[in-house]
């Protein structure tokens, strides 16, 4: 199998999990190579995500590493067997790799939870609001790239429209509701859209009112993507230089607790809708 110059975050994750299994079994790359009929360099490439593998090889390694968690092994085998090009591939070479990785992460998640403190949830954006967000970048993006990012964001929302949509929970700070990206009219339309979308069975939107005061986190946006098994959960953080991803167990536990705190301290869904409607009427 040919090597990849720039593996996706998902491909890197599969390789990292195979390496984790090998290390837990105290096996060497030479041992793994012997099982697969590969040299140690190719095994290292596979564990780095730069070389593809197959479901059969994943299961062979898991058996020899004495990994008995069938759900976990099955999820890894499914990752290895998924070769269909996602819709985001049409943007490869035109948009930053990180944006494609976010779309791929969302597409394969079985549940999503996010915290937003400045912007409203991207998966619930209208075009006018999203365009204003992209136009606020420094350095300024060319109009052509703004429109590419807008098209990409609108397509990301397909996960909420599928026959089996991804369950989505968005925790939003009240201040984010009052930020007027795109002006008063665009913001009012966006808030009305949030309320409409939050009435869908698979979408939960809850607001953290300013009266709560301090809250955990540094104010950055967080997405917690649940994998088919807990070992494959991923956290994605927004930053000025692009999305950052983590699957370190300590970080996963930290951000899972972050989400649980938000769930305990935010308004319930109806009270959240009422507050959003109130803010929209003030515009």
- Distance in angstroms (rounded) separating the CA atoms of residues 38 and 15: 15
166 contacts: CB under 8 Å, gap ≥ 6: 106, 109, 110, 111, 112, 159, 160, 202
d(CA 245, CA 222): 10
How do beta strands 203-208 and 222-226 pair? unpaired
User: Does a cis peptide bond (omega within 30 degrees of 0) precede residue 139?
Assistant: yes
Phi–psi pair at 248, nearest 5 degrees = -60, 130
Confidence class for position 82, pLDDT limits 50, 70, 90? confident
Return the pLDDT at 83.
Answer: 81
220 pLDDT band, cuts 50/70/90, is confident
Across the range 223-228, mean pLDDT stands at 97
The set of residues, in sequence order, having a beta carbon less than 8 Å from that of 182 and lying 6+ positions away, is 128, 129, 131, 132, 190
Distances (CA, A) of 195 to 201, 278, 279, 281: 13, 11, 12, 13
The CATH fold of domain 98-282: Endonuclease; Chain A (3.30.870)
Element (H, E) at 116: strand 111-116
pTM score of the predicted model: 0.95
Q: Domain spans of the chain?
A: 9-81, 98-282
Tokens of 245: 């991803």
**What mean pLDDT, rounded, does the chain reach?**
95
pLDDT given for residue 3 in this prediction? 67
In this predicted structure, what is the pLDDT of residue 2?
61
What is the Cα–Cα distance from 180 to 281, expressed in whole angstroms? 13
The residues, ordered by sequence, that sit 6+ positions from 48 with a Cβ below 8 Å of its Cβ are: 7, 12, 15
Q: Supply the pLDDT for residue 123.
A: 97
pLDDT-derived band at 182 (thresholds 50, 70, 90) equals very high
- CATH classification number, 9-81, choose in 1.10.260.40, 3.40.1160.10, 3.40.190.10, 3.40.50.2000: 1.10.260.40
pLDDT at 234: 98
Percentage of the chain beyond pLDDT 70 is 99
Three-class SS state of 115 = strand
Largest CA distance in the chain: 68
Mean per-residue pLDDT, 125-134:
97
In total, the chain counts a number of residues equal to 283
Mean pLDDT of 257-278: 97
């Amino acid at each position: 199998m040919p090597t990849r110059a720039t593996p996706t975050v998902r491909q890197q994750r599969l390789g990292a999990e195979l390496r984790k299994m090998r290390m837990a079994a105290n096996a060497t790359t030479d041992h793994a190579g012997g099982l697969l009929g590969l040299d140690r360099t190719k095994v290292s490439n596979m564990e780095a995500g730069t070389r593809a593998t197959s479901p059969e090889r994943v299961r062979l390694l898991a058996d020899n590493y004495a990994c008995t968690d069938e759900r976990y092994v099955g999820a890894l085998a499914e990752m290895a067997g998924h070769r269909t090009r996602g819709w985001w591939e049409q943007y490869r070479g035109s948009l930053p790799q990180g944006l494609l990785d976010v779309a791929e992460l969302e597409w394969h998640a079985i549940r999503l939870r996010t915290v937003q403190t400045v912007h409203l949830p991207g998966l619930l954006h209208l075009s006018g609001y999203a365009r204003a967000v992209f136009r606020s970048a420094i350095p300024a993006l060319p109009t052509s790239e703004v429109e590419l990012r807008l098209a990409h964001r609108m397509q990301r929302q397909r996960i909420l429209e599928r026959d089996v949509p991804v369950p989505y929970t968005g925790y939003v700070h009240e201040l984010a509701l009052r930020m007027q990206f795109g002006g008063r009219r665009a913001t009012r339309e966006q808030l009305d859209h949030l309320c409409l979308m939050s009435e869908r069975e698979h979408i939960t939107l809850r607001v953290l009112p300013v009266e709560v005061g301090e809250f955990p986190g540094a104010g950055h946006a967080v997405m917690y993507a649940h994998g088919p098994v807990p070992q494959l959960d991923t956290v994605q953080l927004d930053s000025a230089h692009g999305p950052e991803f983590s699957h370190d167990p300590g970080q996963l536990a930290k951000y899972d607790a972050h989400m649980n705190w938000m769930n305990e301290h935010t308004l319930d869904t109806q009270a959240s809708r009422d507050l959003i409607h109130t803010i929209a009427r003030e515009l």
